[in-house]
Amino acid sequence: MPRVDALVQTPVFDSFRVRQVAGLFDVQLSERSTQRFEVDLPDVESDWTIGAIVGPSGSGKSTIAKQAFGNDGCLASKSIFDSVDWPHDKAVIDGFEETLPGKQVTAMLNSVGFSSPPAWIRPWHVLSNGEKFRCDLAYALLKDQSLIAFDEFTSVVDRQVARFGSAAVAKTLRAGRARCKKFVAITCHYDILDWLEPDWYLDMADQTLHWGSLRRPAIQLQVRSCRQDQWRLFKRHHYLSSNLNKAARCYLATWDGKPIAFCSTLHLYGQKDIRMIHRLVVLPDFQGLGVGTAMLDCIAKLEAQTMRVSIVTSHPALIRSLSRNERWRCTKVVKCGQAHNGILARTGKKIGSIGRMTASFRYRKAMH
């Protein structure tokens, strides 16, 4: 196991205040201030995927990372440092490497829990800190490098967002969807370790290397029916429309008492025994861990006690998720979309899904 020895030396500039501090606090003055860090780290060629370097500020985390992985391997969130050069005059999806296909970029944004197409077309600097953090993560995971060490990991987001973001990163890396092969999180926050589930972590507080046996806590959702006014928390995050039908039956999912997801259903025009999923939204800070699919399954199971349940969606991430979900059966795929007809056309809604691929799914009631 390699041992990393990092020596940090800085000159001491003589002044009246420097001598005053030295006299008051018994600091020994010399020409240089010296700090030495000696730690064991896993070999970068060994069999691991996720690592972490944690410890209080000033404990040498960044110094050790640069010594072990080099400047080229280290990246910091631009929320703290200007490591990623996000353009101010372009959409965030245009800030990634030009050689990357658009579908690969949007798939990675979905993977790290940033599943909001309306936000993808905005410049990086107008996004929230949580959204910026997810963009920085997607950028890092799409770099064609053997290893990425991400400094100031989760430093600019609240702790709930940090935990969900860490779990989304772990899920993406374990599934092999990232271009980088190994990822090291560098942070002063110990609370993300259980959620990141690293193969190893180095605690700079005592300079001890730990091999991981950490497991992510279960996410317990509470789902209940709710009034339509709860939609106001979610409407701006829906990828197509902020409108909610007045006849919609609404449900709210909470985690630790905080609303994080919304779902509504509607009776299908002309079909007495079918209810359609009308709106499904997970707040951006809690995307990437399957919360939306879990809520969808819960609502479909409830509604399926008396009705058949269907959903039509054009969201790529939801289509992929439902295609892998044995509780749902794909009944129709329309690659270019279609205009409304019949009863819907007579209501004045004639645009439909023209220009968008859509997929229809039916809930398998027999599974339960």
pLDDT tens-digit series, residues 272-321: 889 999 999 999 888 888 899 999 999 999 999 999 999 999 888 889 89
CA distance 113 to 90: 21
CA distance 169 to 255: 20
**How many CA atoms are closer than 13 Å to the CA of 107, on its beta-carbon side?**
15
Is the pLDDT assigned to residue 326 strictly greater than 70? yes
- Band (pLDDT 50/70/90 cuts) for residue 368 is very low
Q: Is 341 exposed, middle or buried (0-12, 13-18, 19+ CB in 10 A)?
A: exposed
Residue 152's identity, in one-letter code, is E
CB 212 within 8 A of CB 203: no
Q: What is the pTM of this model?
A: 0.78
Q: Express each pLDDT in 91-130 by its tens digit.
A: 999 999 999 999 999 989 988 888 888 889 999 999 988 8
Q: Domains in the chain, start-ordered, CATH in brackets? A: 38-211 (3.40.50.300), 222-367 (3.40.630.30)
Given this model, what pLDDT does residue 1 score?
64
Instruction: Give CA–CA dist 262/280, Å, rounded.
Output: 6
Q: What is the DSSP string of 46-82?
A: SS-SEEEEE--TTSSHHHHHHHHH-GGGEEE-TTTS-
Report the percentage of the chain scoring pLDDT > 90: 49
Whether 123 contacts 88, CB under 8 Å: yes
| 92-96, 146-150, 212-216: segment of lowest average pLDDT | 212-216
pLDDT value of residue 208: 93
pLDDT at 72: 59
Confidence check: pLDDT of 343 > 70: no
Mean pLDDT calculated for residue range 53-79 = 77
Structure confidence at residue 366 (pLDDT): 60
Q: Is the pLDDT of residue 32 over 90?
A: no
Q: Average pLDDT in the 213-238 region?
A: 90
- Residues 282 and 115 sit within 8 Å (Cβ to Cβ): yes
Average pLDDT of the segment spanning 347-361: 65
Q: Exposure string (b/e) for 17-50, b if CB count within 10 Å is 16 or more?
A: eeeeeeeeeeeeeeeeeeeebebebbebeeebbb
pLDDT reading at 170 higher than 60 = yes
Reply yes or no on whether the pLDDT at 174 is more than 70. Answer: yes
